[in-house]
């Protein structure tokens, strides 16, 4: 009878070893499933905006733009309601950068000869405006499927390379997430 407790203890140790061994071999499957379910796979596109092959662009001569991340918009000076929404959107996205706000600037390329209304300019205070004629590389800002560049917002990096395009009517939270990620990994700007 003295042997029974010893056998019970050995049996419990053996069961724990078997459970540990089973967990060890099951762990890769659980981890793989979790990575797939949470979309954490390396190489998976984590960005919302479309990454473009970096193309150097010559920016309008303005000291506040040099060395900054730029949100660029193309639109006419009459600035329709949609244009105003994009300008407001760019302002809010920049403000959402928090302490990194000084690293991001906004540029509105005016595609026609119309002077923007004073109330629009006042509402977008801090946005740099430039006529299309002062922007020789505007043709590099292409749109998907031959569409119009007016439909998109673009990102130019601090080195002056066009590198990202956001879709028409972008989702603010996803744009902010993309820009925060760029600012976090970048030492420039």
Structure tokens at 182: 């760029």
The three-state DSSP-derived secondary structure of 120-172 is HHHHCCCCEEEEHHHCCCHHHCCCHHHCCHHHCEEEECCCCEEEEEECCCCCH
The CATH superfamily assigned to 50-185 is Glutaredoxin (3.40.30.10)
In this predicted structure, the answer to whether residue 75 has a pLDDT above a threshold of 60 is yes
Q: Say how many residues make up the chain.
A: 189
The pLDDT of residue 121 is: 93
- Per-residue pLDDT tens for 31-63? 888 777 776 656 555 789 999 999 999 888 777
- Per-residue pLDDT tens for 126-150? 999 999 988 888 888 877 666 788 9
What angle is formed at CA 48 by the lines to CA 123 and CA 84, rounded to 5 degrees?
A: 20
Mean pLDDT calculated for residue range 22-34: 86
Q: How far apart are CA 183 and CA 157, in angstroms?
A: 10
Q: What is the pTM of this model?
A: 0.74
The pLDDT of residue 33 is: 83
Residue among 57, 44, 43 at smallest CA distance from 164: 57
Average pLDDT over the chain reads: 87
Q: How far apart are CA 47 and CA 36, in angstroms?
A: 17
Whether residue 129 contacts residue 116, with contact meaning beta carbons closer than 8 Å, is answered with: yes
């Amino acid at each position: 009878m003295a042997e029974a407790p010893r056998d019970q203890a050995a049996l419990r140790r053996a069961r724990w070893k078997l459970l540990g061994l089973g967990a060890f071999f099951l762990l890769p499957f659980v981890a793989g499933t979790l990575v797939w379910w949470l979309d954490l796979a390396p190489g998976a596109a984590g960005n919302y905006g479309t990454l473009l092959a970096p193309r150097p662009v010559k920016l309008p001569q303005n000291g506040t733009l040099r060395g900054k991340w730029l949100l660029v918009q193309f639109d006419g000076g009459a600035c329709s309601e949609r244009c105003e929404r994009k300008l407001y959107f760019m302002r809010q996205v920049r403000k959402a950068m928090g302490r990194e706000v000084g690293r991001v600037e906004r540029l509105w390329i005016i595609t026609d000869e119309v002077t923007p209304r004073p109330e629009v300019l006042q509402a977008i205070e801090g946005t740099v405006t430039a006529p299309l004629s002062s922007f020789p590389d505007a043709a590099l800002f292409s749109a998907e499927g031959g569409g119009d560049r007016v439909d998109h917002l673009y990102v130019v990096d601090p080195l002056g390379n066009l590198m990202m395009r956001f879709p028409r009517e972008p989702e603010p939270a996803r744009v902010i997430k993309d820009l925060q990620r760029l600012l976090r990994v970048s030492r420039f700007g």
